[in-house]
Amino acid sequence: MSNLPAIAGTYYDLRQVKSRGCWQVVIDVPAEAAEKLVETFGLPRQDEPTWLAVARLTVPPGARNGTAVRSSADAGTPTPLKPAGAPGGTNGGWYGLKPPARAALLCREPEFWVWVNGLYDLLQGLASEREADEWLKAECGTPKKAWLNPEHPDHRAGALKKFTAIERSYRISRGFETEEVGR
Protein backbone atom coordinates (compact mmCIF):
# COMPACT_ATOMS: atom_id res chain seq x y z
CA MET A 1 0.00 0.00 0.00
CA SER A 2 1.33 3.45 -0.92
CA ASN A 3 1.89 6.21 1.63
CA LEU A 4 1.21 8.92 -0.95
CA PRO A 5 -1.51 11.39 0.12
CA ALA A 6 -4.81 10.97 -1.73
CA ILE A 7 -8.32 12.38 -1.53
CA ALA A 8 -11.12 10.62 -3.44
CA GLY A 9 -13.60 12.64 -5.45
CA THR A 10 -15.76 12.47 -8.57
CA TYR A 11 -14.70 13.69 -11.99
CA TYR A 12 -17.24 16.46 -12.56
CA ASP A 13 -16.24 18.57 -15.54
CA LEU A 14 -13.57 19.34 -18.13
CA ARG A 15 -13.11 22.91 -19.33
CA GLN A 16 -10.82 24.43 -21.91
CA VAL A 17 -8.81 27.44 -20.67
CA LYS A 18 -7.93 29.08 -23.97
CA SER A 19 -6.01 31.95 -22.37
CA ARG A 20 -3.51 29.49 -20.86
CA GLY A 21 -3.64 26.86 -23.59
CA CYS A 22 -4.70 24.06 -21.24
CA TRP A 23 -7.66 22.13 -19.91
CA GLN A 24 -9.06 22.36 -16.40
CA VAL A 25 -10.25 19.19 -14.66
CA VAL A 26 -12.95 19.70 -12.03
CA ILE A 27 -13.12 17.06 -9.29
CA ASP A 28 -15.79 17.27 -6.58
CA VAL A 29 -14.74 16.09 -3.14
CA PRO A 30 -17.11 15.62 -0.20
CA ALA A 31 -17.33 18.68 2.06
CA GLU A 32 -15.93 16.75 5.00
CA ALA A 33 -12.76 16.06 2.96
CA ALA A 34 -12.17 19.74 2.10
CA GLU A 35 -10.14 20.45 5.23
CA LYS A 36 -7.96 17.37 4.64
CA LEU A 37 -7.55 18.41 0.99
CA VAL A 38 -6.25 21.85 1.96
CA GLU A 39 -4.13 20.39 4.78
CA THR A 40 -2.58 17.84 2.41
CA PHE A 41 -2.11 19.88 -0.76
CA GLY A 42 -2.50 23.52 0.34
CA LEU A 43 -4.66 26.13 -1.39
CA PRO A 44 -4.27 26.55 -5.16
CA ARG A 45 -1.94 29.42 -6.07
CA GLN A 46 -1.18 30.74 -9.56
CA ASP A 47 2.27 31.94 -8.55
CA GLU A 48 3.21 28.60 -6.94
CA PRO A 49 1.30 25.72 -8.55
CA THR A 50 0.99 22.35 -6.83
CA TRP A 51 1.45 19.40 -9.17
CA LEU A 52 -0.96 16.52 -8.59
CA ALA A 53 -1.70 13.25 -10.36
CA VAL A 54 -5.15 11.98 -11.26
CA ALA A 55 -5.99 8.27 -11.06
CA ARG A 56 -9.20 6.38 -11.73
CA LEU A 57 -10.64 4.61 -8.68
CA THR A 58 -12.81 1.52 -8.70
CA VAL A 59 -16.41 2.43 -7.90
CA PRO A 60 -17.40 0.69 -4.66
CA PRO A 61 -20.12 -2.00 -4.84
CA GLY A 62 -23.60 -0.49 -4.82
CA ALA A 63 -22.45 2.95 -5.96
CA ARG A 64 -23.64 4.30 -9.29
CA ASN A 65 -21.40 6.15 -11.73
CA GLY A 66 -21.38 9.82 -10.82
CA THR A 67 -21.99 9.11 -7.14
CA ALA A 68 -19.67 11.02 -4.84
CA VAL A 69 -17.69 8.81 -2.49
CA ARG A 70 -16.61 9.75 1.03
CA SER A 71 -13.04 8.57 1.24
CA SER A 72 -9.43 9.50 1.56
CA ALA A 73 -6.37 7.29 1.49
CA ASP A 74 -6.68 6.56 5.21
CA ALA A 75 -10.46 6.78 5.70
CA GLY A 76 -11.28 3.09 5.32
CA THR A 77 -14.16 1.77 3.23
CA PRO A 78 -15.76 4.43 0.99
CA THR A 79 -19.38 5.34 1.72
CA PRO A 80 -21.54 6.26 -1.31
CA LEU A 81 -23.16 9.69 -1.09
CA LYS A 82 -25.41 11.73 -3.32
CA PRO A 83 -23.58 13.92 -5.85
CA ALA A 84 -22.11 17.08 -4.34
CA GLY A 85 -24.75 19.75 -4.05
CA ALA A 86 -27.63 17.40 -4.88
CA PRO A 87 -30.87 18.11 -3.04
CA GLY A 88 -30.86 16.01 0.10
CA GLY A 89 -27.19 15.13 -0.34
CA THR A 90 -25.46 14.18 2.89
CA ASN A 91 -22.14 15.79 2.02
CA GLY A 92 -23.29 19.41 1.76
CA GLY A 93 -21.54 19.88 -1.58
CA TRP A 94 -20.53 23.45 -2.39
CA TYR A 95 -22.80 24.83 0.32
CA GLY A 96 -21.12 22.59 2.90
CA LEU A 97 -18.25 25.10 2.79
CA LYS A 98 -18.47 28.30 4.83
CA PRO A 99 -19.17 31.50 2.85
CA PRO A 100 -15.58 32.88 3.19
CA ALA A 101 -14.17 29.64 1.71
CA ARG A 102 -16.69 29.74 -1.16
CA ALA A 103 -15.80 33.40 -1.81
CA ALA A 104 -12.09 32.55 -1.91
CA LEU A 105 -12.71 29.69 -4.35
CA LEU A 106 -14.82 31.91 -6.63
CA CYS A 107 -12.12 34.57 -6.73
CA ARG A 108 -9.59 31.97 -7.94
CA GLU A 109 -11.72 30.95 -10.93
CA PRO A 110 -10.83 32.71 -14.20
CA GLU A 111 -14.36 31.80 -15.41
CA PHE A 112 -15.74 33.88 -12.52
CA TRP A 113 -13.64 36.87 -13.66
CA VAL A 114 -14.99 36.51 -17.20
CA TRP A 115 -18.55 36.22 -15.89
CA VAL A 116 -18.18 39.35 -13.72
CA ASN A 117 -16.59 41.26 -16.61
CA GLY A 118 -19.48 40.31 -18.90
CA LEU A 119 -22.22 40.98 -16.38
CA TYR A 120 -21.03 44.14 -14.70
CA ASP A 121 -19.95 47.26 -16.54
CA LEU A 122 -16.48 47.56 -15.02
CA LEU A 123 -14.12 50.31 -16.17
CA GLN A 124 -11.28 47.81 -16.10
CA GLY A 125 -12.12 44.10 -16.16
CA LEU A 126 -10.99 41.60 -13.55
CA ALA A 127 -7.83 39.79 -14.57
CA SER A 128 -6.52 38.19 -11.37
CA GLU A 129 -7.52 36.51 -8.14
CA ARG A 130 -6.55 39.65 -6.20
CA GLU A 131 -8.72 41.88 -8.40
CA ALA A 132 -11.66 39.48 -8.08
CA ASP A 133 -11.17 39.42 -4.31
CA GLU A 134 -11.15 43.23 -4.07
CA TRP A 135 -14.17 43.52 -6.39
CA LEU A 136 -16.19 40.93 -4.45
CA LYS A 137 -15.48 42.56 -1.06
CA ALA A 138 -16.39 46.01 -2.43
CA GLU A 139 -19.54 44.70 -4.14
CA CYS A 140 -20.66 42.97 -0.93
CA GLY A 141 -19.74 45.95 1.26
CA THR A 142 -17.32 44.14 3.54
CA PRO A 143 -13.60 44.74 4.12
CA LYS A 144 -12.90 41.05 4.77
CA LYS A 145 -14.33 37.82 3.35
CA ALA A 146 -14.18 36.36 6.88
CA TRP A 147 -17.03 38.70 7.83
CA LEU A 148 -19.32 36.74 5.49
CA ASN A 149 -19.31 33.94 8.08
CA PRO A 150 -22.41 34.20 10.32
CA GLU A 151 -20.27 32.91 13.22
CA HIS A 152 -17.71 35.75 12.90
CA PRO A 153 -18.06 38.54 15.52
CA ASP A 154 -18.00 41.20 12.77
CA HIS A 155 -20.47 39.33 10.53
CA ARG A 156 -22.50 41.50 8.16
CA ALA A 157 -25.82 39.96 7.14
CA GLY A 158 -26.26 42.36 4.19
CA ALA A 159 -22.84 41.42 2.83
CA LEU A 160 -23.66 37.72 3.10
CA LYS A 161 -26.99 38.26 1.33
CA LYS A 162 -25.28 40.12 -1.53
CA PHE A 163 -22.52 37.49 -1.77
CA THR A 164 -25.07 34.67 -1.83
CA ALA A 165 -26.95 36.37 -4.67
CA ILE A 166 -23.74 36.84 -6.70
CA GLU A 167 -22.49 33.30 -6.12
CA ARG A 168 -25.87 31.73 -6.91
CA SER A 169 -26.28 33.75 -10.10
CA TYR A 170 -22.79 32.69 -11.21
CA ARG A 171 -23.40 29.03 -10.34
CA ILE A 172 -26.69 29.04 -12.27
CA SER A 173 -24.94 30.63 -15.28
CA ARG A 174 -22.30 27.84 -15.20
CA GLY A 175 -24.93 25.09 -14.91
CA PHE A 176 -23.88 24.04 -11.39
CA GLU A 177 -27.43 24.51 -10.11
CA THR A 178 -30.82 25.48 -11.44
CA GLU A 179 -33.13 28.32 -10.49
CA GLU A 180 -35.72 25.86 -9.16
CA VAL A 181 -33.30 23.89 -6.99
CA GLY A 182 -30.69 25.60 -4.93
CA ARG A 183 -29.99 27.16 -1.66
Summarised one tens digit per residue, pLDDT across range 10-35 is 777 777 777 778 888 878 777 777 77
Torsion over CA of 18, 95, 79 and 5, rounded to 10 degrees? 50
Beta strands in the chain (DSSP E): 10-17, 22-28, 69-70, 79-80
| Residue 93 pLDDT exceeds 80 | no
The burial of 111, by beta-carbon neighbours within 10 Å (0-12 exposed, 13-18 middle, 19 or more buried), is given as middle
Interval 142-159: pLDDT, tens: 999 999 999 888 888 899
Mean pLDDT of the chain: 74
**How far is C-alpha 11 from the geometric centre of its chain's CA atoms?**
14
pLDDT band at 141 (very low <50, low <70, confident <90, very high): very high
Looking at residue 99, its pLDDT comes to 92
